[in-house]
Amino acid sequence: MMANADFPLESASPIAGGVRRVALDPLSRVEGHGKVTLLLDDAGHVWQARLHIVEFRGFEKFIQGRPYWEVPVMVQRLCGICPVSHHLAAAKALDHVVGADELPPTAEKLRRLMHAGQILQSHALHFFHLSSPDLLFGFASDAARRNIVGIAAAHPEVARQGVLLRRFGQEIIRLTAGKRVHGTGAIPGGVNRALSPAERADLLAGIEQIIAWSRQAVQLVKRLHAADPELYDHFGTCRSSLLSIVGAGGVLDFYDGRLRARDADGRVLADAVHARDYAGLISEEVKSWSYMKFPFLSAIGPREGWYKVGPLARVQNCEAIATPMAEAERREFIAHGCGRIVHAPLAYHWARMIEMLHAAEAIEDLLHDDELSGSELRSSGARHHEGVGVIEAPRGTLIHHYRVGDDDLVTMCNLIVSTTHNNQPMNEAVRRVAQRYIDGQELTEGLLNHIEVAIRCFDPCLSCATHALGRMPLVIELLDASGRLVGRLAGAPDALSSGGGS
Amino acid sequence: MNTPTLLLDGLPVPFSAGQTIMEAATAAGVFIPHLCHHPDFKPQGSCKLCTVKANGRYVSACTMPAKDGMEVENDSPDLNDKRRTLLQMLFVEGNHFCPSCEKSGDCLLQALAYELEMLTAHFAQFYPDRPVDASHPDVLLDFNRCILCELCVRASRDVDRKNVFALSGRGIGKHLIVNAESGRLADTGFSLADKAAHVCPVGVILAKRQGFLQPIGQRRYDRQPIAMQFASLPGSGGNGPEA
């Protein structure tokens, strides 16, 4: 339908007969709080679709005036799903502040292990607990069953593997950070403990099974794609640039590397950009209807410069994966694109499982490395007043930027989190799905869940993205032609309430 | 002559003349909750956490001399309820954010909250505005966590002979200050080597750039709950990280 903003359907044009507004609020099976609003005319045509992030947190403000060594522990409280990523991004930024531009090998490897555990547990959580109900039962299937409990009943082995994969990742985090959630392992300049040979042996005893299950998860996603290529290749598809860090030699690297951006056709737009120069690469736009900013590649501008981050971007941005099984899967994925960049949101799941497999393989390699049990845990050097840390969190590129005064207190903090990068792509996917599935239709819970499915592909963490305090449910509201609220989907997916006929 | 003995929760506890109830209990490996008490300093009885019932009267165990035949009630629901309420008031008066506090796991206030099973703060938070003092090159002062125990005041006055700290104001307005024209720690003779730098039972006086160096699992109260530490190390009578 028509729109008068930069992006079709972002803002509704004047409509003769008025519109009704549908709000999906809260969004379910995502982390954090958000809502989707749709403006529909009397015939049910979609005039506007927006993903709103409605909470505000303010970590960037209240970290000011705190001592820098407190930062990695405090800022990880942004999130309970991927605190390790915030913990490590902050520690990396502060490594530079304490002059530790090169960590002792033991420290860097322990951090890499901690992060691989994080990728493993978060990807398992997202795929098995949050998304598999949509993918295995169908987007419009019975809402009462469309959850992890339903999966446990219908596919007990899948549910069990999801739980145990996550547990293994959490155990790695516990052993490297001291706790499964919100530990203290990374400190500016290094880490505070190493792994004993006995701890490594315990973890190694279980890794073969973890790798096998991770391989099976990739096969499961491939079967889903093969069973319905029309859906998986086109559902909510929106072309955009891609952004991620890429490790030395062009390999997939979650922990460290330089920023690379490709355009929607795969041409490299920017490469080998150091984290400290991120501000020259991307800018952020603010819109009145969301607390989440809209980043874009500065050289291209807000209209065309938006980009995707996360598994789909990373797997296509790198030239190789350093572990053999994941690399074989990456090649198959690239071949699926037939020489073109895959932009389909549902392909995020495929890429995510390839990454989970890589994390499992990388964990095994690291656990065999005796340097994990070394004793040199920290380094330091000449102090600096500023540091930028970049890391690939499960959901995408995560940037932490701090300035620290001579008195050791933080004077400035800027956080650009993974989900924020994906703000425009998620909004675009919502609009594509609204246009394709909702436009002109009688609204049902199952149809509206299609919008949530599109958002879930990106595995958004809306709490992180707004640095907001609190829960993350999502809301969908429906307004009639005069702007009256006629329908609202809130809380549980089956909670579509009618305020005058929806 | 028989050794004088008191009955602590029904348990005979011998003591020597001049000892307080706290000293007698500590020597016997019995824990009496406390915050402002420290075996190295003269007791002042201000925090009231060590309140016990001696012969039916509420008294401070850290100041009350032990007496032969005295019946002392310590670990009882009535006393622990009162202690828990005192802790809750201390928690809401300051800004005690354990999740990001580097003293977590080594903090006496936190250890007592666990020991006395404080599950919520109960009272409305005050959220006072207390800027930190980071002026000193080696030591950070985070006033958000001060519980007014005066251990730093006593240590700086009685041991270091520097009088760096004092309490100012009255009642709810009472607060810790630094004795300098500017009010800044950097403008005093304070040193990280001072006794006062190492007696804070909470996270106010902190050696800079040391936070979180100790991994979870190796911090003082990770190893054993505070009451068990007293039972296993009778006579230690500790209060701060040094004990």
Residues A113-146 pLDDT 10s: 999 999 999 999 999 999 999 999 999 999 889 9
Residues of A whose CB is below 8 A from B212: 69-70, 72-73, 184, 187, 192
- CB–CB of A182 and B99 under 8 A? yes
Average pLDDT over residues B52-58: 98
| pLDDT at residue A483 greater than cutoff 70 | no
Q: Please tell me the distance from the alpha carbon of residue B149 to that of residue A257, in angstroms, as a whole number.
A: 49
**Which pLDDT value is given to residue A28?**
74
**Which pLDDT value is given to residue A412?**
95
Residue A320: DSSP 8-state = B
> What amino acid occupies position A269?
L
Q: How far is B194 from chain A (nearest CA, A)?
A: 20
**Which pLDDT value is given to residue A477?**
67
Q: Please tell me the distance from the alpha carbon of residue A70 to that of residue A77, in angstroms, as a whole number.
A: 12
Q: Does B210 touch chain A if contact means CB atoms closer than 8 Å?
A: yes
Q: How far is A168 from chain B (nearest CA, A)?
A: 19
| pLDDT at residue B4 greater than cutoff 80 | yes
Q: Nearest chain A Cα to B103, which residue?
A: A70
| Whether A57 contacts A468, CB under 8 Å | yes
Average pLDDT over residues A218-243: 96
Q: Please tell me the distance from the alpha carbon of residue A458 to that of residue A348, in angstroms, as a whole number.
A: 7
Fold for domain B14-75?
Ubiquitin-like (UB roll) (3.10.20)
| 3-state secondary structure (DSSP) of residue A471 | coil
**Which pLDDT value is given to residue A444?**
87
- For chain B, residues classed under CATH 3.30.70.20 are 83-210
Q: How far is A105 from chain B (nearest CA, A)?
A: 18
- CB–CB of B216 and A70 under 8 A? no
Q: How many residue pairs from chains A and B have C-beta atoms closer than 8 A? A: 59
Q: Nearest chain B Cα to A193, which residue?
A: B215
| Radius of gyration of chain A from its Cα atoms, rounded to whole angstroms | 22
Q: Categorise residue A24: left if φ over 0, alpha if ψ from -120 to 50, beta otherwise.
A: beta
Average pLDDT over residues A48-62: 78
- CB–CB of B100 and A73 under 8 A? yes
pLDDT tens-digit map of B215-237: 999 999 998 999 999 886 544 44
Tokens standing for residue A498: 């009618």
| Closest among B136, B206, B185 to A69, alpha carbons compared | B206
- CB–CB of B132 and A178 under 8 A? no
Q: Nearest chain A Cα to B212, which residue?
A: A184
Q: How far is B162 from chain A (nearest CA, A)?
A: 23
**Which pLDDT value is given to residue B240?**
43
Per-chain mean pLDDT for chain A: 89
Residues of B whose CB is below 8 A from A383: none
Residues of A whose CB is below 8 A from B101: 70
Burial class (CB in 10 A: 0-12, 13-18, 19+), A251: middle
Q: How far is A419 from chain B (nearest CA, A)?
A: 24
Which site among A407, A408, A409, A469 would you substitute to test the B interface, given the most B Cβ atoms closer than 10 Å to its Cβ? A407
Residues of B whose CB is below 8 A from A67: 132, 134, 140, 206, 208, 211
| pLDDT at residue A420 greater than cutoff 90 | no
| pLDDT at residue A492 greater than cutoff 50 | no
Average pLDDT over residues A225-229: 96
Name which of A248-252, A444-448, B81-85, B134-138 the model is least confident about. A444-448
Residues of A whose CB is below 8 A from B211: 67, 69-70, 73, 187
| pLDDT at residue A30 greater than cutoff 90 | no
**Which pLDDT value is given to residue A14?**
65
Q: How far is B134 from chain A (nearest CA, A)?
A: 6
Confidence of residue A442 (pLDDT cuts 50, 70, 90): confident
Q: Does B214 touch chain A if contact means CB atoms closer than 8 Å?
A: yes
- CB–CB of A69 and B134 under 8 A? no
Residues of B whose CB is below 8 A from A178: 215-217
| pLDDT at residue A466 greater than cutoff 70 | no
Confidence of residue A351 (pLDDT cuts 50, 70, 90): very high
Which site among B136, B209, B221 would you substitute to test the A interface, given the most A Cβ atoms closer than 10 Å to its Cβ? B209
- Please tell me the total number of residues recorded for chain A in this structure: 502
- CB–CB of A77 and B102 under 8 A? no
CATH number of B83-210: 3.30.70.20
Nearest to B214 among A66, A183, A192 (CB): A192
Nearest to A67 among B140, B213, B217 (CB): B140
- CB–CB of A65 and B209 under 8 A? no
Average pLDDT over residues A456-477: 57
Q: What is the ipTM of this complex?
A: 0.93
Which site among B98, B133, B192, B213 would you substitute to test the A interface, given the most A Cβ atoms closer than 10 Å to its Cβ? B213
| Whether A421 contacts A295, CB under 8 Å | yes
Q: How far is A73 from chain B (nearest CA, A)?
A: 6
- CB–CB of B213 and A192 under 8 A? yes
| 3-state secondary structure (DSSP) of residue A269 | strand
**Which pLDDT value is given to residue A2?**
37
**Which pLDDT value is given to residue A495?**
34
Q: How far is B203 from chain A (nearest CA, A)?
A: 12
Confidence of residue A439 (pLDDT cuts 50, 70, 90): confident
Average pLDDT over residues A310-332: 98
- CB–CB of A182 and B135 under 8 A? no
Nearest to B216 among A70, A184, A409 (CB): A184
